[in-house]
C-alpha cells in the first residue's frame, strides 16, 4: 500500500468518524476499529477512489449507523447541533414565561396579548417611517409631526400614506408566506436600529458640556456637567506673585459663565469616581450653586507643605522649603 | 417495494448464510451477497453487520497475510453463529411461507 492510498483511507475514515461524532466514544471506536483495514481491502479489489466506490463518507456513515442498529442522530452534529439545542432551550424557556405572564394580563399567553397589539404597532411603524423619511430628506426633527420642508399639510399626507402602507403591509404579512414576511421583519428591524442610533447619537452629542436651562424666574439655573475622568474637577488661578486667587468667576467672550469642575468635590476624601446615585443626589441639591473658583481652595495643588502638613498629599511640584540634609 | 427496507431485517441472516460453508473477508462477503442477488446491499451495511455480529459473539476473526495486497481479516461462523443461523433460518422460512400463502390466497401475481 502506498502513501497516497494510506492518506486517502485515513481521510475517508476521519470523515466517517466526524459524521458519527454524536455516538459514545466506545461505540464509535468499536465500529471503526477495522475500517482502515476494510477500506484497504476494498481499494485492493478494483479501480476507483473510495468515494467513487463507496460514495460520500457521510452517506457511508449513515449506512453504517443503520446496519449496526444504532439510531440515527437526533440532531445534525457539530455547531449546528449545539445551536439547535440552545435555540430549543431558549424557546422552551420563553414559552414557559409566555404562559406564566399571560394570565396576569388576562390572556392565555403573553404572546396572544402582544398579537392583539399588532395593529397599534403597525400604526407606530408607519409614524416612525414618516419621521425617518422626513429626517433623512429634510434634516432635523423639530416637532412630533413630520413636516417635510416645514409644510404641515404635506406632513399629514405623508403620515397618512405611511400609516396606511404600514397597516396594509402588516395585514398582508399575516397571510403571506415566510420569505416576504422575513423581508418586512428585517427592514423594520433596520429602521428601528436606525432610529435608536439617531436618538442615542443625538443625545450623546448634546450631553457634552454644561446645559444652560432658562427658568421661569428669569435667572438661569445651571445644570453642572457630570464629572468624568478627563475633565478637571476644579480650577485654580494664581496671580503674578504665585498667590492663589480665590472667589474668581470665569466667563467666555459672550459673557456666558464657563462651568468647569464639580462643586462639592471637596467632600470626597478620595478621588474615586462617584456612583450614579451620588451624582444625582448632589446635582439635585446643587441647582443654584455658583461656580466660584477654586471650588475647593483647601486642595490647592501648590500650597506649601509647611502651612498645611498633610502626610498623604502628593509631593508638591511648586515652591517648597528646602529639606534638611541628613548630615 | 424498496428492498433496502427489507434488507435491514434480513442482512444478519444473509451474512451468516454466506459464511456457512466458507470463511470470508469483508469485500469478499459483499461480493458473495451481490452475486446471490442482493445487488442493492452496500459496503457500509456489510461492514457494520460484520462488526455487530462479531460484537455479539457470533463470528470469530483471523488475519491472513497477503503477499501483494493488504492483510485480510477473515470472518468465520462459530458455534453460537451456527445456532443463530439455524434459528433465524427457521423464522425466515416460516415468515416467508406465511407471506407467500397470504399473497397466493388473494391472487397476487408472483
Q: Give one DSSP letter per residue of A46-88, joined into a string.
A: SSS-HHHHH--HHHHHHHHHHHTTPPPPSS--THHHHHHHHHH
Q: Kindly state the average pLDDT of the residues A69-73.
A: 54
Chain B partners of A37 at a C-beta cutoff of 8 Å?
70-71, 73
A77, A18 Cβ separation under 8 angstroms: yes
Secondary structure of residue B98 in the 3-state scheme: helix
Residue A210: what pLDDT? 45
Query: A67 pLDDT exceeds 70?
Result: yes
Distance in Å, alpha carbon of B106 to nearest chain A alpha carbon: 34
Location of C-alpha cell 461524532: A21
Q: Kindly state the average pLDDT of the residues B29-57.
A: 91
Residue A245: what pLDDT? 85
Residue A208: what pLDDT? 44
What digits encode the pLDDT tens for the residues A102-120?
Answer: 888 888 888 888 888 888 9
- What band does A290 get if pLDDT is binned at 50, 70 and 90? low
Domains for chain B: give ranges and CATH numbers: 3-101 (1.10.10.10)
Q: What are φ and ψ of residue A206, in 5° steps?
A: -80, -20
Closest residue to B26, CB basis, from A33, A38, A63? A38
Query: A182 pLDDT exceeds 80?
Result: no
Query: A174 pLDDT exceeds 50?
Result: yes
- What band does B57 get if pLDDT is binned at 50, 70 and 90? very high
Q: Please give the angle made by the CA atoms of B98, B103 and B105, to the nearest 5 degrees.
A: 95
Q: Which residues have C-beta within 8 Å of that of residue A149, sequence separation ≥ 6?
A: A138
What digits encode the pLDDT tens for the residues A185-231?
Answer: 777 777 777 667 766 665 444 444 444 444 444 444 444 455 455 66
Contact B69 A66 (CB under 8 A): no
Q: What's the whole-number average pLDDT of chain B? A: 90
Q: Kindly state the average pLDDT of the residues A248-262.
A: 80
Closest residue to A67, CB basis, from B27, B45, B69? B45
- What band does A134 get if pLDDT is binned at 50, 70 and 90? confident
Question: Which of B10, B28, B9 lies closest to B19, judged by CA?
Answer: B28
Residue B59: what pLDDT? 95
Residue A279: what pLDDT? 62
Q: Kindly state the average pLDDT of the residues A23-46.
A: 87
Q: C-alpha cell of A230?
A: 478627563
B31 vs A151 pLDDT, higher one: B31
DSSP for A140-165, please give it. Answer: ---SSS--GGG-HHHHHHHHHHHHHH
* Residues in B lying within 8 Å of A, measured between beta carbons: 8, 11, 25-27, 31, 42-49, 51-52, 55, 69-73
Residue A312: what pLDDT? 53
- What band does A152 get if pLDDT is binned at 50, 70 and 90? confident
Query: A158 pLDDT exceeds 80?
Result: yes
Question: Which of A4-18, A142-156, A188-202, A246-260 is modeled with the greatest confidence?
Answer: A4-18
Residue A99: what pLDDT? 81
Query: A76 pLDDT exceeds 50?
Result: no
Burial (CB count <10 Å: 0-12, 13-18, 19+), residue B75: buried
Residue A89: what pLDDT? 77
A248 vs B33 pLDDT, higher one: B33
* Helix runs in chain A, H state only: 3-19, 25-32, 35-44, 50-54, 57-67, 79-105, 110-116, 118-138, 152-175, 178-206, 276-285
Report the range of poorest mean pLDDT among A65-74, A84-93, A140-149, B23-32: A65-74
Query: A302 pLDDT exceeds 70?
Result: yes
Q: What are φ and ψ of residue A123, in 5° steps?
A: -65, -45
Report the range of poorest mean pLDDT among A20-24, A102-106, A315-319: A315-319
Closest residue to A37, CB basis, from B46, B55, B71? B71
Query: B1 pLDDT exceeds 90?
Result: no
Question: Which of A25, A24, A26, A17 lies closest to A64, judged by CA?
Answer: A17
Q: Kindly state the average pLDDT of the residues B56-85.
A: 90
Contact A65 B69 (CB under 8 A): no
Chain A partners of B55 at a C-beta cutoff of 8 Å?
30
Query: A176 pLDDT exceeds 90?
Result: no
For residue A80, CA distances in Å to A62, A190, B61 come to 18, 26, 39
A23 vs A192 pLDDT, higher one: A23
Query: B33 pLDDT exceeds 80?
Result: yes
| Chain A from 35 to 54: CB within 8 A of any B CB | 35, 37-38, 40-42, 44-45, 53-54
**From CA B108, how far away is CA B110, in angstroms rounded?**
6
**From CA A17, how far away is CA A114, in angstroms rounded?**
47
Peptide bond into A282 cis (omega under 30): no
**From CA A64, how far away is CA A55, in angstroms rounded?**
12
Q: What's the whole-number average pLDDT of chain A? A: 73
**From CA A31, how far away is CA A27, in angstroms rounded?**
6
Question: Which of A280, A291, A288, A277 lies closest to A232, judged by CA?
Answer: A291
Amino acid at each position: 500500500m502506498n502513501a497516497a492510498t494510506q492518506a486517502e483511507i485515513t481521510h475517508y475514515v476521519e470523515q466517517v468518524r466526524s459524521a458519527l461524532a454524536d455516538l459514545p466514544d466506545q461505540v464509535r471506536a468499536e465500529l471503526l476499529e477495522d475500517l482502515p483495514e476494510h477500506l484497504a481491502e476494498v481499494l485492493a479489489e478494483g479501480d476507483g477512489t473510495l468515494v467513487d466506490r463507496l460514495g460520500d463518507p457521510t452517506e457511508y456513515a449513515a449506512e453504517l449507523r443503520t446496519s449496526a442498529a444504532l439510531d440515527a442522530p437526533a440532531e445534525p452534529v457539530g455547531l449546528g447541533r449545539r445551536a439547535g439545542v440552545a435555540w430549543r432551550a431558549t424557546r422552551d424557556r420563553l414559552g414557559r414565561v409566555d404562559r406564566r405572564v399571560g394570565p396576569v394580563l388576562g390572556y392565555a399567553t403573553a404572546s396572544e396579548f402582544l398579537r392583539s397589539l399588532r395593529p397599534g404597532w403597525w400604526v407606530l411603524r408607519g409614524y416612525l417611517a414618516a419621521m425617518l423619511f422626513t429626517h433623512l430628506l429634510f434634516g432635523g426633527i423639530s416637532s412630533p409631526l413630520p413636516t417635510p420642508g416645514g409644510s404641515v399639510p404635506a406632513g399629514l399626507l405623508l403620515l397618512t400614506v405611511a400609516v396606511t402602507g404600514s397597516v396594509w403591509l402588516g395585514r398582508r404579512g399575516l397571510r403571506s408566506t415566510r420569505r416576504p414576511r422575513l423581508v418586512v421583519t428585517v427592514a423594520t428591524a433596520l429602521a428601528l436600529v436606525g432610529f435608536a442610533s439617531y436618538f442615542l447619537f443625538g443625545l450623546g452629542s448634546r450631553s457634552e458640556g454644561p446645559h444652560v436651562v432658562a427658568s421661569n424666574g428669569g435667572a438661569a439655573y445651571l445644570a453642572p456637567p457630570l464629572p468624568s475622568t478627563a475633565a478637571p474637577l476644579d480650577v485654580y488661578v494664581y496671580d503674578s506673585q504665585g498667590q492663589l486667587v480665590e472667589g474668581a468667576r470665569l466667563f467666555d467672550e459672550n459673557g456666558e459663565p464657563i462651568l468647569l469642575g464639580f462643586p462639592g468635590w471637596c467632600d470626597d476624601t478620595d478621588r474615586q469616581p462617584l456612583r450614579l446615585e451620588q451624582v444625582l443626589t448632589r446635582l439635585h441639591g446643587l441647582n443654584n450653586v455658583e461656580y466660584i473658583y477654586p471650588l475647593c481652595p483647601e486642595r490647592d495643588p501648590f500650597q506649601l507643605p509647611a502651612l498645611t502638613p498633610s502626610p498623604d498629599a502628593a509631593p508638591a511640584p511648586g515652591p517648597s522649603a528646602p529639606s534638611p540634609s541628613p548630615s | 417495494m424498496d428492498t433496502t427496507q427489507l434488507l435491514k431485517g434480513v442482512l444478519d441472516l444473509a451474512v451468516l448464510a454466506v459464511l456457512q460453508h466458507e470463511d470470508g473477508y469483508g469485500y469478499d462477503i459483499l461480493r458473495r451477497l451481490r452475486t446471490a442477488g442482493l445487488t442493492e446491499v452496500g459496503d457500509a451495511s456489510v461492514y457494520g453487520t460484520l462488526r455487530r455480529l462479531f460484537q455479539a459473539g457470533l463470528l470469530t476473526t483471523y488475519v491472513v497475510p497477503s503477499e501483494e495486497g493488504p492483510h485480510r481479516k477473515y470472518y468465520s461462523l462459530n458455534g453460537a453463529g451456527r445456532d443463530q443461523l439455524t434459528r433465524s433460518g427457521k423464522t425466515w422460512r416460516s415468515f416467508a411461507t406465511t407471506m407467500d400463502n397470504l399473497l397466493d390466497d388473494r391472487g397476487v401475481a408472483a
